[in-house]
Structure 1
Amino acid sequence: MRRLRPVELDFARSAPLRLVFSARLDAPPPAVYAALAEDTGGWARWFTGVARAVPTDGGAGREVRLTGGTRFLETVLAAQPEARYTYRVDRTNAPGLRALLEDWQLTPDGDGTRLRWTFAADGPGPLRLALLLARPGLGRAFRVSARVLDRRLARANSGS
């Protein structure tokens, strides 16, 4: 595991590479926010590629393991109920990354939620190119994950 450059919230707008994805969920913002920010362990049940996620430092951080063995130690930078959940990666075993921040924004959309995920990264040119080429796959993973999350929240709300 190596240490990445610490970045702050503005990196979501200023990163050399920004990949932004959006989806509409039928679930209301409080339920979506709770899944993102309060049920850290639940990420492995709905987000494609997450094998394990646990809170650290009393919820101020997270440790995430992906199915391929990549690990992230993260610091939560923003936890604004029903509006925003943002974290940066402090340490990882992923090669090439210099900085990484993920910003989840929630906006009411009728009875549901518009969920926007910004993947903001910095690294050498070849890594940025590889991430750009991976954009369609990341977009698919986000859309599938959003649908799975929405179904899970609907089941939880119906009591099944």
Structure 2
Amino acid sequence: MVRRLRPVELDFTETAPVRLVFARRVTSSPEAVYRALAEDVEGWPRWFSAVSSAHPSDGGSGRLIRLRGGTRFEETILAAEAHELYAYRVDATNAPGVRALVEEWRLTPDGASGTRVRWTVAADGTAAFRLVTRLSRAGLGRAFRDAVRKLDRRIGSTHAR
């Protein structure tokens, strides 16, 4: 069953009842990280192991995401600021309990060529959903660290060719 979510905007990342924020430094440039996030949507499963498929939709203004385990998201891109910010809102999902969800990726130059990657997951839902999301912080943090490490290696190996 697909549920339509509340159509929140980017400022939801500051006001959501549940906000999980993770950050990590990578050696790749903000330009390269941004390209992987925003321009190579179909490449996400190669570095973010929770994602089993990812496809642009609506002429590039949206995304269709499938996670391992069967969760599906129909998303709208809220912000795509080259080399700095990539954010999207979930408009519809089969996940129970969620009412609103935005994810934001902020990229900040760090050192001569590195990037500080910050991922914010902003959510609202039933009390049970909010509790489960908060309890998932450690697992989501591990998934984020693994994903950006794989992404950094992938970008490095692509540039080495």
User: How does the TM-score come out when normalised to structure 1?
Assistant: 0.98
* CA deviation vs aligned residue, 1:53-102 (integer Å, no higher than 9, x gap): 00001110000000100000000000000000000000000000000000
Query: Gaps (5+ residues) in structure 1?
Result: none
What is aligned with 2:143? 141
1:17 and 1:134 map into 2 onto residues whose CA distance is 11
Say whether the 8 Å CA contact 1:44–1:52 is kept in structure 2. Answer: yes
What is aligned with 1:93? 94
Give the secondary structure class of the aligned counterpart of 2:22: strand
- Count of aligned positions: 159
Say whether the 8 Å CA contact 1:48–1:142 is kept in structure 2. Answer: no
**Is it true that 1:123 corresponds to 2:114 in the alignment?**
no
Aligned residue identity for 1:142? F
Aligned residue identity for 2:114? G
Aligned residue identity for 2:129? L
Say whether the 8 Å CA contact 1:65–1:71 is kept in structure 2. Answer: yes
- Displacement of 1:126 in angstroms is 1.4
2:159 and 2:126 map into 1 onto residues whose CA distance is 44
Aligned residue identity for 2:78? L
Any residues of structure 2 matched to 1:1-160 within 5 Å, and which? 1-110=2-111, 111-159=113-161
Identity %: 61
1:38 and 1:46 map into 2 onto residues whose CA distance is 14
2:89 and 2:38 map into 1 onto residues whose CA distance is 14
User: How does the TM-score come out when normalised to structure 2?
Assistant: 0.98
Q: What is the root-mean-square deviation of aligned Cα atoms in Å?
A: 0.5
Query: Where does structure 1 differ by over 6 angstroms across 4 or more consecutive aligned residues?
Result: none
- Displacement of 1:48 in angstroms is 2.1
Aligned residue identity for 2:109? P
* CA deviation vs aligned residue, 1:103-125 (integer Å, no higher than 9, x gap): 00000001110000000000111
1:125 and 1:2 map into 2 onto residues whose CA distance is 17
Aligned residue identity for 1:69? G
Aligned residue identity for 2:75? E
2:87 and 2:97 map into 1 onto residues whose CA distance is 22
- Displacement of 1:154 in angstroms is 0.2
